[in-house]
Amino acid sequence: MVIKPSELTPVSASEFCKIIEEVGLPKGVISMVVGYGHNVGAALVENPITKLISMTGSTRAGQAIYKGASQNVAGLVLELGGKAPFIVLEDANIDKAVEAAAISRYANCGQVCICNEMVFVDSKVADEFTEKLIKRVRKIKVGNPLTDVDMGPNLSPIALKRINEIVHENVAQGAELVLGGKRPEGAAFEKGNWYEPTILTNVKPQHSTIQEEMFGPVLPIVKINGYEQAKELLNQRDDSLSAYLYTENHKLIMRSIQEFQIGTIFVNKQIVGYIQGYHSGHKKAGIGGEDGIYGVEEYLQKRTIYMNYE
């Protein structure tokens, strides 16, 4: 196995490789290289020695890998971009939905592919939900993640600039910035990629914060008219990785399992990931999957033998 971490985050992969050496795995079983995708990544993907490529990243990067791997018909496990809607229906437990929405959006500064990227809340309960969510998010402590805080910084200056541009583009489109939307104040935040937990209301499905994966601490809220509209908005997307659904209606829960064109559904539950659960995307959110028995299967090349025992 050859690991090529993101050029922006090589340290954690390096520490992993040190642990591999400490536990005594034979040299050469796992190696690590660093560099950019267009040169180092492409060399790995297009090499005829490579039998399987497993990648977590953007849809654009996945498409490039798909093309490069086709030269040798290498196997692929691609976990690509997602834009998870957090759906709150009128019969939902609002307090529990608010808590889950906050945790599922601002965990790791929103930099998780299955994070809550946008809220679709029934108009009958939208005002109550939004009011309570703003109060909850105001309590989030931002700071050094090695200390007692709730949210750390963003990945890079480029990512931070893009997030801020999308937020203010959405305001120009008519959305209302009700919380955040800027760098936190204070000496501790003068350097680094900091951004306040942000909430936008009066957001429409065609707005930029709904159309683009934010991968940051920004939560747009869209009012909907029930389950059918939520399903329509979800199923018309190509970044079909995950979704959240809060409702007490078990018939709708069972329908969502059948009708949502999505890889993972969190039903009345905040963001979580268990190693025994299969993690995969549908449509342009990926091919193959990870974790669980089905994820292990992705890494096996099977062989069939027909033998005459006479």
CA-to-CA dists, residue 224 to 117, 234, 236, 258, 309, angstroms: 16, 12, 15, 21, 66
What string of H, E and C letters represents the secondary structure of 3-47?
ECCCCCCCHHHHHHHHHHHHCCCCCCCCEECCCCHHHHHHHHHHC
Residues 242, 81 contacting (CB under 8 angstroms)? no
CA–CA dist 104, 93 (Å, integer):
16
**Residues 6 or more apart from 50 whose CB is under 8 A from it?**
44, 69, 72, 74
Active-site annotation holds for 190: no
Classify burial at 281, counting beta carbons within 10 Å of its beta carbon; exposed 0-12, middle 13-18, buried 19 or more. Answer: buried
Amino acid (one-letter) located at 229: Q
CA–CA dist 70, 91 (Å, integer):
48
Active-site annotation holds for 115: no
Looking at 90, 113, 117, 290, which residue is catalytic? 113
Residues 115, 81 contacting (CB under 8 angstroms)? no
Q: How many CB atoms lie within 10 A of CB 309?
A: 3
Consecutive H or E run containing 210? helix 208-211
Amino acid (one-letter) located at 83: K
Sign of CA dihedral 63, 107, 241, 278: positive
CA–CA dist 196, 95 (Å, integer):
23
Looking at 79, 117, 213, 290, which residue is catalytic? 79
Instruction: Give the active site residues.
Output: 79, 113
